[in-house]
Amino acid sequence: MCSFDLCKLPGVCTNDGTPGIAANKRELALDSPMETHVLETRGQDHYEANLGRYVFILIAAAVNEISRLYAGRNANLVTRQQYRLRPGSCVGPAIDILTVAAGDHPGGLTGDQTEHPIEPQFGARFLETIVLGRLRGANGQIPSPYLPPIPADTINFYWDHPLHELAQRPAIGGPYGDKPATAQERFMGAFGSVDWPEPLIPTDQQINGPKGQLWSLHDPISLDAINRNARAAVNADTVQTQDALLQSVRIGFAIMEYMNDQNFINHFNIARNQIRAQLGYIETAFANQGWPVTGLQEWWDVVLDDFMAQLQTRVRTFTDQAITAAFAPFNSQRGQNLNIAPAIRATLRDYLTRLQNGQGMTFDAQYFVNIHPPP
């Protein structure tokens, strides 16, 4: 059985009412010997972009917490599908896709968070990459065809500079969205916001938290936690400790199942294409000011696709390591003789077979690559 609550593991979930941002999505460190560009906006998450001489701080657009997701502005745009980590068998589908009830305050959302399909923290990585001028997941390759790097000075000094031209551009996401005057707000607002919640998805924090870790290129759940769960299972030999171990190992499959669902992909591409559109407005407005940021949209295409390949490699590596860590104590003579050993070993063998066959562990390139029609 896989019914263990992953939120009992340190750092996986948050219960502070924050709208879908677990602790792993808060990675701000302002103490730096480099010049730091700081914007003060209370209640919104901040992300560092290391631009060489500068550390530029990106501020996520505010989103409604889960209790107000269907009661806020433009709530009619929000999907009525929610994603939950499936309790029960450890083998087979790991995600339940449920229908959210009608109304402004539907029930059944306890334990869910407001989730961004494209994590706002990726905005910092995007800026770092375009300033560096090399793809960070492709062995530092220069994009082909060539794209010129974006000057760090331009980002640092002008990304949050108000421009009348940007304020006149179409609202983010449609006529009822916001029409900000800065590149900062245009860019980050296109990941999803209070004003434009269309990309946002109600998602179990047991999925959202580990996914946030993965988007930081960290393990979805620490291998230390899995090792502890494995030792606890050997020492206690109970169904409860078996549950905790297998649930923590299958999270890689759960994340990939979630991200390969068609509704998730649709919302991923809603955000992807809106961000691309905003970068086009920014490029034009900056060019008219004499601040060239040539190729922002093309950079967006290649950087995101490069990063998705990194995510795929990372989740496969994590799952392989997690299976190995979970198996280890059950290969000993003592471990093989435990009551829970047959079920654990059989399930882990199933996971290993699925991993080796690539089952559920590959992003569907048909939907995730080079999808960027005009808005």
Q: What confidence tens digit (pLDDT) does each residue in 243-254 have?
A: 999 999 999 999
pLDDT at 43 over 60: no
Q: What is the band of 361 on the pLDDT scale with cuts at 50, 70, 90? A: confident
Q: Mean pLDDT, the chain, as a whole number?
A: 89
Q: What confidence tens digit (pLDDT) does each residue in 65-106 have?
A: 999 999 998 999 999 999 999 999 999 999 999 999 999 999
Q: Which of 28, 22, 21 minimizes the C-alpha distance to 221?
A: 22
Q: What confidence tens digit (pLDDT) does each residue in 277-327 have?
A: 999 999 999 999 999 899 999 999 999 999 998 999 999 999 999 999 999
Q: Where does residue 76 rank: exposed (0-12), middle (13-18), buried (19+ CB within 10 A)?
A: exposed
Q: What confidence tens digit (pLDDT) does each residue in 194-217 have?
A: 999 999 999 999 999 999 999 999
pLDDT at 374 over 90: no
- Is 361 within 8 Å of 354 (Cβ atoms)? yes
* 39: amino acid identity, one letter: L
Cα separation, 27 vs 172, whole angstroms: 26
Residue 365 is predicted with a pLDDT of: 65
Q: What confidence tens digit (pLDDT) does each residue in 136-192 have?
A: 886 789 998 999 999 999 999 999 999 999 999 999 999 889 999 999 999 999 999
Mean pLDDT of 118-123: 98
| Contacts made by residues 344-353, CB under 8 angstroms, sequence distance 24+ | 344/233, 344/242, 344/245, 344/246, 347/90, 347/91, 347/246, 348/246, 348/249, 348/323, 350/91, 351/249, 351/250, 351/253, 351/319, 351/323, 352/323
In angstroms, how far is CA 99 from the centroid of its own chain? 22
Residue 180 is predicted with a pLDDT of: 98
Partners of 47 in the β-ladder: 27, 58
pLDDT at 373 over 60: no
% of the chain surpassing 70 pLDDT: 89
pTM: 0.90
